[in-house]
Amino acid sequence: MRKSSLLALVGAFAVAAALVIGPAASAKPTKVMAGTVVIIHDQEPPTLRGAWEDNNLLATSLVTNNIWYGCEIYNSNAQFVPRLCTSKPKIVKRSPLTIRFTYKASAVWSDGSPVTAKDFRATWKVFINPHNNVVSRTGWEDIRSVKGTGKTVTVVWKKPFADWESYVASGPYQAKAIAGKDMNQTFENSIPVSSGPWKFQSWQKGVQITLVKNTRFHVYRPMKFTRVVFRYILDTNARFQALKAGEGQAIQSQPQLQIADFLKDRKFVVIRKPDIAFEHVDLQFGPQGHPALKKAFVRRALTTGINRQQIADALYRTIAPGLPSLNSLIYKPFEAQYQNFWGRAYPFNQARVINILKANGCTGGPARASASNNDIFSCPGVGKLSFRFFTTTGNQLRALAFEIMQRQLKSVGINLEARFQTGGVLFGTTLPSSDWDLIMFTYGQTPTSKITSKDLYACGGDQNYGLYCNRNATALLNKVPLTLSAAQRTNLLHQAESKYIVKDVPSIPLYSRPAFTIRSASLHGPLVNPTTEGMPWNISDWTS
Amino acid sequence: MLTYIVRRLLYSIVVLVAASFLVFTFVAVSGDPLAALRVTPNVSQDTIQKIVERKHLDDPIAVRYWHWVQDAVTNKFGTTLLGDRRILPDLWRVMKNTLQLVIAAEFIALTIGVGVGVYSALRQYSFFDYSGTTFSFLGLAIPVFWFALMLQVLDVKVFQWTGHRVFPIANLSSVDPGGGIHFAIDRIHHLILPVFVLMIVNMAAYSRFMRASMLEVLNSDFVRTGRAKGLPERKVVMKHAFRNALITIVTLSALNLGGLISGAIITETVFSLDGMGLYFVNSLLSNDPYPVMAWLMITATAIIFFNLVADVLYGVLDPRIRYD
């Protein structure tokens, strides 16, 4: 080899080596620390500025909820439990709605300064400042004033506001950490203080976020681990393989077929529970929808002709056997207020579907249900019962759910035409255009989303893309956000759903998606938390 | 030569502008960056409408493209559509990671591929030649994602049987990578599987091209003349045949390298490597045209540059080619 070729080779090696070593030039060698728990997650936060318009993500809240610790946090049953506060916040006056809560004396920031009313007030100001690109001002902008200088905070609302607890429970920013800052550029890559069990240490972009124990956290049991690392592995297969290979100890997972492997593996424990997010099929009432969908008997026939329990069984037999179908659009199976409205109103009955359609003058369909049926009903004035069914592409579970529904309905003379689209097109263009007949997707909700059910099911609701409108249901749903009594709210929601929504069928609930936590058998403590608190909500209780 | 390069660079500007407009149009019409917000509880239509107005999302495509051009030129590729995060720091980070992967894979693939190709040509129809041919076809035929997945599964099985993790499954570094040389070793350890996957495919191609090219040259008149003149076989092969046979490989590898700068999308995705390919996929999925555009400008520039390098090298290696 000539000298010049050798030099070229050495040069190539040098470039490669420089690229590898370059980023590490300032790093100091460290040893793997004991007392570290590694959580593998499927998405990396874009920034640490949660609840912003580009960053309303679970991935972010998993990291930041234990930094901006709440007056209360959601436990694994989606119930508020006090943490920074001495007790649950109290209503001291109903008109104007006045809430009072007190931070514990032990509630201090990681820099030693106390958590006070000033911090909560500064947080409120952030969310109502029109310059800040927060994802939603709803609720915050309904607050008239935040008073208090010490540990006790008094919040006065402009009007009765049922969802007040979500706002006063939220973790405040530290006032001095955000003073004078442009919040659209703050907490981009780090958070300097913490009021929770862990504090931010470092972020190796594209790889991991490292959090360390906050030694000044005394409002609850401190973390037993010295360090928590979120490792970001975006590919589903790689994520599960990495867990098997011991590169992490826990995963909070969406339903994936790979979970089946872990159910059989003694080295791992799989915990599952119905989530708040629920799968459903919306029906279109607007002018761009199929005219048949404006007929209540057609909507009822559709619902009766879908075996919802069979869908839940078929989809989750392997990874979550026994998952119940969902029988309420408002409450979830793990909630005490949950009632079986839809199961009672529409038990799966194919003979009944045919009878309903025939009784309303529809013709051309089968005489009885048959798996090989190709005859489709036509109904007077609305034509053939053939509907455009939209959902997202690339989701095996949705494709299977569609296939089952399509077969079940075809056997009773109703046709579904598949229109699968990417999430961006489906949610960005198709859904808001209301140019669809049926559309299947998941609503990711919060425990208090039911208070704003009007957004989904009231006339002109912000997210009522199906254009459903029932004045009676709307009147009840509109009262809910103004009703301070939880029992009265439940009563209103039950009335709206059982008397009107179930009968009108604006949407068909399918199932609450199961949420999963997989942990290595040597790690104890992680539970499924169906809220945005996620798996680390009880990090203080984790041991290995 | 200089005139040729300047002319090519001028053409390239036109190509970049046209490509950027087309890609912007395709990304902008293929999805809605606000899709997720539309089904987020408590996000009002009013909020969404304000974002649409602030970000010019309901303007014609040409106007939106012009906004992007202004932002890209005056603000170093600008910021993301939502959140106003600067794009360039992220792109630099992922490009460094991709370069580590690509340079290592290309270097090894070229070294082994060229060696195997030359030896196969010199020992045509030998056992080595047949074996090389078989493995090359195998390397070309195996789908990258499947091969990568199988390596991961095998790695996990070895871990389960022995309790020792031979290679990391994913990511670019360990939880505690350390610094300096420790960091470098840790990074190399993490890159072994992805480099191997990427290298196998490229090596297979290079060895086939090199073999064919070498055989063609070895059977040409000037090589026969060299041998008839009594030149030592080593000199005939290495100085005359090899240099001429390299022309194809140089062109191919230059073009390949240009393409690989855009990221080995499948390899980076399967191994969750924070590189250009994964960056592109994530940007595309979020329907944000601005990071996609920044990615495109860098990769298109790289491809154009390496095309030019290939053409120039072609002339250097083959004195018969002139650009005047």
pLDDT tens digits for A92-128?
999 999 999 999 999 999 999 999 999 999 999 999 9
Q: Over range A19-47, report the average pLDDT.
A: 66
The verdict on A38 touching B (C-beta cutoff 8 Å) is yes
Q: Mutation test of the interface with chain A: which of B169, B273, B276, choosing the one with the most A Cβ atoms within 10 A?
A: B169
CA distances from B68 to A382, B24, B61, B77, B283 (A): 47, 9, 10, 8, 15
Strands A386-392 and A438-443: parallel
pLDDT over threshold 50, residue B116: yes
Q: What is the band of A30 on the pLDDT scale with cuts at 50, 70, 90?
A: very low
Q: What is the band of A150 on the pLDDT scale with cuts at 50, 70, 90?
A: very high
pLDDT over threshold 80, residue B316: no
Q: Over range B114-137, report the average pLDDT.
A: 93
Taking contacts as CB-CB distances below 8 angstroms, the residues of chain A near B43 are 56, 135-136, 462
The verdict on B74 touching A (C-beta cutoff 8 Å) is no
A residues 184..203 contacting B (CB < 8 A): 184-185, 188
The verdict on B162 touching A (C-beta cutoff 8 Å) is no
Q: Give the distance from residue A171's alpha carbon to the nearest chain B alpha carbon, in angstroms.
A: 18
B184 near A20, Cβ under 8 Å?
yes
pLDDT in tens, A338-367: 999 999 999 999 999 999 999 999 999 999
Q: What is the band of A19 on the pLDDT scale with cuts at 50, 70, 90?
A: very low
Taking contacts as CB-CB distances below 8 angstroms, the residues of chain A near B287 are 424, 428
CA distances from B283 to A346, A424, B30 (A): 43, 12, 13
A197 near A541, Cβ under 8 Å?
no
Which of A135, A428, A462 has the CB atom closest to B35's CB atom? A428
Q: Mutation test of the interface with chain A: which of B37, B38, B39, B82, choosing the one with the most A Cβ atoms within 10 A?
A: B39
pLDDT in tens, B266-285: 999 999 999 999 999 888 88
Compute the half-sphere exposure of residue A155: CA atoms within 13 Å on the CB side of its CA.
32
Does B32 sit within 8 Å of A444, measured CB to CB?
no
Q: Mutation test of the interface with chain B: which of A19, A188, A265, A455, choosing the one with the most B Cβ atoms within 10 A?
A: A19
Total length of chain A: 544
The verdict on A386 touching B (C-beta cutoff 8 Å) is no
Taking contacts as CB-CB distances below 8 angstroms, the residues of chain B near A136 are 40, 42-44, 47
The verdict on B38 touching A (C-beta cutoff 8 Å) is yes
Taking contacts as CB-CB distances below 8 angstroms, the residues of chain B near A424 are 30-33, 35, 285, 287
The verdict on B49 touching A (C-beta cutoff 8 Å) is no
Q: Which of B56, B89, B97 is nearest to A188 (CA)?
A: B89
Q: Give the distance from residue A244's alpha carbon to the nearest chain B alpha carbon, in angstroms.
A: 7
- The percent of residues in chain A predicted with pLDDT above 90, rounded, is 84
Q: How many helices and strands (H and E) does chain B possess?
A: 14, 0
Largest CA distance in chain B: 86
Does B170 sit within 8 Å of A238, measured CB to CB?
yes
Q: What are phi and psi of A199, to 5 degrees?
A: -130, 160
Q: Over range A373-402, report the average pLDDT.
A: 94
Rounded distance, CA A177 to CA A191, Å? Answer: 9
pLDDT over threshold 70, residue A21: no
Rounded distance, CA B130 to CA B120, Å? Answer: 8
Does B187 sit within 8 Å of A241, measured CB to CB?
no
* Cβ-based neighbour number of residue A9 at 10 Å: 13
Q: Give the distance from residue B247's alpha carbon to the nearest chain A alpha carbon, in angstroms.
A: 16
Please report the beta strands in A45-158, taking only residues with DSSP state E, as ranges in sequence order. Answer: 72-74, 80-82, 90-94, 97-102, 143-147, 152-157
pLDDT in tens, A222-234: 999 999 999 999 9
Does A423 sit within 8 Å of B35, measured CB to CB?
yes
Q: Over range A13-27, report the average pLDDT.
A: 45
Q: What is the band of A451 on the pLDDT scale with cuts at 50, 70, 90?
A: very high
Taking contacts as CB-CB distances below 8 angstroms, the residues of chain A near B271 are 235, 238
Amino acid at A538: N
- Closest-CA residue in chain B for A425? B31
B residues 168..197 contacting A (CB < 8 A): 168-184, 187-188
Q: Which of B110, B158, B121, B118 is nearest to A5 (CA)?
A: B110
pLDDT over threshold 90, residue B173: yes
B residues 79..98 contacting A (CB < 8 A): 80, 82-85, 90, 93-94, 96-97
The verdict on B232 touching A (C-beta cutoff 8 Å) is no
Q: For position A33, what pLDDT does the model report?
A: 53
User: A229 or A395: which carries more pLDDT confidence?
Assistant: A229
A291 near A540, Cβ under 8 Å?
no
User: What burial class does residue A31 get, using C-beta atoms within 10 Å of its C-beta: 0-12 exposed, 13-18 middle, 19+ buried?
Assistant: exposed
Q: What is the band of A13 on the pLDDT scale with cuts at 50, 70, 90?
A: low
Rounded distance, CA A293 to CA B205, Å? Answer: 57
Six-digit token pair at A162?
């049922």
Rounded distance, CA B234 to CA B228, Å? Answer: 14
Q: Give the distance from residue B298's alpha carbon to the nearest chain A alpha carbon, in angstroms.
A: 18
Taking contacts as CB-CB distances below 8 angstroms, the residues of chain B near A201 are none
Q: What is the band of A32 on the pLDDT scale with cuts at 50, 70, 90?
A: very low
CA distances from A350 to A307, A380, A413 (A): 9, 21, 10
Which of B38, B160, B179 has the CB atom closest to A24's CB atom? B179
Taking contacts as CB-CB distances below 8 angstroms, the residues of chain A near B316 are none
Six-digit token pair at A231?
């490792």
Q: Over range A529-537, report the average pLDDT.
A: 94
Six-digit token pair at A166?
């979500």
Total length of chain B: 324
Does A25 sit within 8 Å of B83, measured CB to CB?
no
Strands A250-253 and A36-41: parallel
Compute the half-sphere exposure of residue B239: CA atoms within 13 Å on the CB side of its CA.
10
Taking contacts as CB-CB distances below 8 angstroms, the residues of chain A near B104 are 16
Q: Which of A198, A165, A152 is nearest to A81 (CA)?
A: A165
Q: Which domains does chain A have, with CATH numbers?
A: 3-16+276-512 (3.10.105.10), 68-187 (3.90.76.10)
What's the DSSP call for residue A441? E
Strands A227-232 and A36-41: parallel
Q: What is the band of A492 on the pLDDT scale with cuts at 50, 70, 90?
A: very high
Alpha helix segments (H runs only) across A85-206? 117-128, 164-169, 175-178
What's the DSSP call for residue A280? E
Does B174 sit within 8 Å of A233, measured CB to CB?
no
CA dihedral B36, B40, B45, B49 (to 10 degrees): -40
Q: Give the distance from residue A478's alpha carbon to the nearest chain B alpha carbon, in angstroms.
A: 14
B62 strand-pairing partners: none
pLDDT over threshold 90, residue B309: no
Q: What is the band of A18 on the pLDDT scale with cuts at 50, 70, 90?
A: very low
Does A28 sit within 8 Å of B30, measured CB to CB?
no
Q: What is the band of B253 on the pLDDT scale with cuts at 50, 70, 90?
A: confident
Radius of gyration of chain A (CA): 27
Does B90 sit within 8 Å of A12, measured CB to CB?
no
Please report the beta strands in A176-241, taking only residues with DSSP state E, as ranges in sequence order. Answer: 198-204, 208-213, 227-232
pLDDT in tens, B95-115: 999 999 999 999 999 999 999
CA dihedral A445, A446, A448, A454 (to 10 degrees): -20
Does B36 sit within 8 Å of A56, measured CB to CB?
yes
